[in-house]
Amino acid sequence: MLGKRNHSGSVPPNGKKKLRKRSTVELVPESEQIFQGKVFYYVPPDDKAQPRRIRINKAIKFGAAWTTELSLSTTHIVVDKTLTFKDVMTFLKLETLPSNIIMVSEDYPIDSIESRFLLDPKQKQYTVSGYQEMSKVERAAPPSPTMSEHASEDTAALKQPPSHSKELVHGSEIDDTSARVQISQPQNHDMDDHKKMIKLARSMEHIPINDEDDDQEDDIPPSRDQSDESGSDVEPRRPSSHNRPKSKRKGSRNLSFNQEGFTCMTGGTGITTDSNPNARTIEILQKMADYYVETKDHWRQSAYRKTIGVLRKQNTKISSYDEAIRLPTIGHRLALKIEEIVLTNGLRRLNDVVSDPRFHVLQTFMNIYCVGINQAWNWVQQGHTSLEDLKAHVSLTKNQQLGIEHYDEFLTRIPREEVTALGNFVRDAAVSIDPKVEVIIGGSYRRGASSSGDIDFILTKRSTTSSQELLEFLTSLTNHLTKVGFLVAALLTPSQTGSKWHGCCVLPGILKSIWRRIDFLLVPGSELGAALIYFTGDDIFNRSIRLLASKKGWRLNQRGLYKDVLRGPGRVRLNEGSLIEGADENKIFAALGVPWRPPEQRICN
């Protein structure tokens, strides 16, 4: 039933589908792997039904990769015979089929395997019903109600949107690092198998990566900084051979984890690594991380970002598998990849992705403010290739329109001196409205960055105990700053219980000044410490220290550190907990057993 399915589907809120390792699937000899380099997306995209599971496993056996998330590298959509073309397009929320994806019926892989050869997908028996009519005539044909009972069950499954978590299953452990190249070039439907094979062979010849040159690293001199990237996570490191779990700290629970392993315990070095011996490796891994954004595989992306963070801290070049695997957060596959990068100056897998023009389009779209992976992916799927396309053909929210209008500006970094100047401007205005208000610049600026992606302000007042008490002040401030031409747009304003304001500003009186992203956070004095930790970051540090708190049975957020937090299955929080400390940054560190470190040493990314 559909209700049940939808319900259970939404229970694991982050789509925890997991990559099912088919280590049990034994591959046929490589020469017989007719699906080598192909990536199959099945509809419905699961293997819950026994027959489909068997078919999928068989395809994997013959070299296919199986994905449950449509992505740039998908080569085939394999459709259950009970479904029509329109069903599939509706399910995928597509208007047209991307030209380089082949849609076939479920018989296609089976027959190909039998004939030991990639068959012509255009043959009638492999086309999905409704496909030809749709492509010939351009009329909106009503869905043919010719479905068996079995079919209706499967269409019910389609109600579940194709979001969340992808699985890419290769038959062997070797997968992506190895020579299993993803073929992502357009494969015209009228290209015959022979030509395809030639093309495939050719594509496997190149090893080095194309530097698509768009990455002028400019000057990111000292320090990293915040908003250039975000959304990684942190977790304990391997117990570093020497220091053992040792005694428990403070009144905390039975600590069955190694606190020393948390990134927040050591933080960043604080040293400004200008040139890192692992720069090239980092560059490639960063692109891999970008690629995994594309696949919506958030956690895999995180793993890459963590690895990048670790490599950045090394002052020697990590060249071999053995060197790499000893480092925290670097496991078997990343160690393999690091070795391959050093050896070949690139990663074969990546080459195919970055050379796909859609990859760049996707990245372009995602750089629009308030456009994320899902929106960007949908637009790419619909065939849009430029910001002009979007302006002309899709409906944009107000913020997205602003994002496009000021696309380059929002990507332009703000020199530290300008942040200081903007800060002074805000401070003067704030104090003139309420002399008791304090203005603190947070974000990468507080971490000492020489340039920032945006400007973050904490607005606080000693005597206050709730952010609402500052709402009126905020209104006066934004009104005033708007009137004098400092604030030029509001992107997000606080709800009645809210505490954040997002918008844009310029330094008045400067010709052709650049629009800057600016954020205000209202903070009562009683929460200043927690807010400082939050607003100083970086994001990796925040995740690490919050995870640490959670392992102790506590909770850290931007308002305070709380104890006695009960959590249910999946760490779902069941209660608020009771406040340990909120006002003093230092005391929060101390309570958690984290050695104090100044903001500059919280750069973990």
Partner DNA sequence: TGGCGGTACTG
Partner DNA sequence: CAGTACC
Partner DNA sequence: GCCA
CA–CA gap between residue 347 and residue 352 (Å, rounded): 9
416 touching DNA, by CB under 7 A: no
Binding flag, residue 536, DNA (CB under 7 A): yes
The one catalytic residue among 337, 461, 551, 552:
337
Indicate the SS3 state at residue 481.
helix
Backbone angles phi, psi at 565, to 5 degrees: -90, 120
- The residue (of 10 and 148) whose beta carbon lies closer to DNA is 10
Name the minimum Å distance from CB 278 to DNA: 16
Task: Tell whether residue 84 is a contact of DNA (CB under 7 A).
Answer: no
Window 94 to 113, contacts with DNA (CB under 7 A): none
Other residues' Cβ atoms within 10 Å of the Cβ of residue 182: 24
450 binds DNA (CB under 7 A): no
- Residue 454 · residue 227 · CB < 8 Å: yes
Cβ burial, residue 148 (10 Å; 0-12/13-18/19+): exposed
Q: Is 82 in the site for DNA (CB under 7 A)?
A: no
| CB closer to DNA out of 117 and 570 | 570
Q: Does 299 bind DNA (CB under 7 A)?
A: yes
Decide: 543 and 551 in contact? Cβ < 8 Å. Answer: no
- In the complex, what is the shortest distance from the CB of residue 529 to DNA, in angstroms, rounded to a whole number? 15
**Sole residue written with tokens 């060249």:** 319
The single residue among 489, 555, 582, 592 that binds DNA, judged by CB under 7 A, is 555
Stretches 184-192, 274-282, 487-495, 579-587: which one binds DNA (CB under 7 A)? 487-495
From the CB of 498, what's the least distance to DNA, in Å?
A: 2
| SS3 letters across 164-233 | CCCCEECCCCCHHHCCCCCCCCCCCCCCCHHHHHHHHHHHCCCCCCCCCCCCCCCCCCCCCCCCCCCCCC
Phi, psi angle pair for 161, to nearest 5°: -65, 150
Q: Which residues contact 605 (CB under 8 A, 6 or more apart)?
A: 224, 229, 232, 268, 305, 308, 309, 312, 538, 539, 540
CB distance 458 to 523 below 8 Å: yes
Kindly state the smallest distance separating residue 398's Cβ from DNA, in Å: 5
Which lies closer to DNA via its Cβ, residue 35 or residue 369?
A: 369
* Residue 519 β-bridge partners: 456, 502
Among 24, 31, 463, 495, interactor with DNA by CB under 7 A: 495
Cα–Cα distance for residue pair 149/34, rounded to 1 Å: 34
As measured in angstroms, the least distance from the Cβ of 569 to DNA is 5
Note whether 321 binds DNA by CB under 7 A: no
Q: Can you tell me which of 444, 450, 451, 601 binds DNA, judged by CB under 7 A?
A: 444
Q: Give the CA angle between residues 232, 359, 21 to the nearest 5°.
A: 60
Q: How far is CA 237 from CA 264, 546, 548, in A?
A: 11, 15, 12
Shortest distance in whole angstroms from residue 276 CB to DNA: 20
Phi, psi (degrees; rounded to nearest 5) at 438: -105, 145
- Name the one range near DNA by CB under 7 A: 161-169, 263-271, 356-364, 458-466: 161-169
Q: Does 549 bind DNA (CB under 7 A)?
A: yes
Contact 538, 599 (CB under 8 A): no
Q: Given the complex with DNA, which of 40 and 369 has the nearer CB atom?
A: 369
Q: Scanning residues 207 to 226, which ones bind DNA (CB under 7 A)? A: 226
Taking the complex as a whole, the smallest distance from the CB of residue 504 to DNA amounts, in Å, to 11
Residue 331 or residue 525: which is nearer to DNA going by CB?
Answer: 331
Backbone dihedral angles phi then psi of residue 134, each to the nearest 5 degrees: -65, -40
Q: Are strands 516-524 and 455-461 parallel, antiparallel or unpaired?
A: parallel
- Cα–Cα distances in angstroms (integers) from residue 357 to residues 186, 467, 563, in the given order: 10, 47, 50
Tell me the number of residues near DNA by CB under 7 A.
92
Q: Binding residue for DNA (CB under 7 A) from 28, 200, 279, 373?
A: 373
Residue 499 touches DNA, criterion: CB under 7 A = yes
Counting contacts by CB under 7 A, is residue 524 touching DNA? no
Binding DNA by CB under 7 A: which of 2, 25, 200, 370?
A: 370
Known active-site residue 337: yes
Does the protein bind DNA through residue 503 (CB under 7 A)? no
Q: d(Cα 192, Cα 199) in Å, to the nearest integer? A: 11
Q: Which stretch binds DNA (CB under 7 A): 16-24, 52-60, 118-126, 210-218?
A: 16-24
Positions 325 through 354 that interact with DNA (CB under 7 A): 328-335
- Give the nearest distance from C-beta 196 to DNA in angstroms: 25
CA 247 to chain centre: 37
Residue 155's H or E segment, with its range, is helix 149-158
Show the tokens assigned to 536.
């100083």
Binding mask 376-415 for DNA (x = CB under 7 A): x--------------------xxx----------------
Question: Using CB under 7 A, which of the segments 192-200, 208-216, 269-277, 368-376 binds DNA?
Answer: 368-376
Q: Which of 136-144, 169-177, 185-193, 196-204 is the region at the interface with DNA (rule: CB under 7 A)? A: 169-177
CA distance 113 to 123: 16
Greatest distance between any 2 Cα atoms in the chain: 82
Question: Minimum distance between the CB of residue 509 and DNA, rounded to whole angstroms?
Answer: 25
**Exactly one of 57, 351, 558, 601 binds DNA (CB under 7 A); which one?**
558
102-105 and 76-79 strand pairing: parallel
Residue 113 dihedral angles phi and psi, to the nearest 5°: -65, -40
**Which range in 57-65, 180-188, 383-391, 539-547 contacts DNA by CB under 7 A?**
539-547
Give the range of 18-26, 99-107, 141-149, 339-347 binding DNA by CB under 7 A. Answer: 18-26
Smallest gap from Cβ 600 to DNA, in A, equals 13
Pick one of 157, 181, 303, 531: the residue that binds DNA (CB under 7 A).
Answer: 303
Q: How far is the CB of 17 from DNA (least distance, A)?
A: 10
Please identify, using beta-carbon distances, which residue of 81 and 159 lies nearer to DNA.
Answer: 159
> Minimum Å distance from CB 216 to DNA?
23
| Binding residues for DNA restricted to 231-270, rule: CB under 7 A | 231, 233-239, 256-258, 261
290 binds DNA (CB under 7 A): no
371 binds DNA (CB under 7 A): yes
Distance from C-alpha of 147 to C-alpha of 155, rounded to nearest angstrom:
10
Catalytic positions = 337
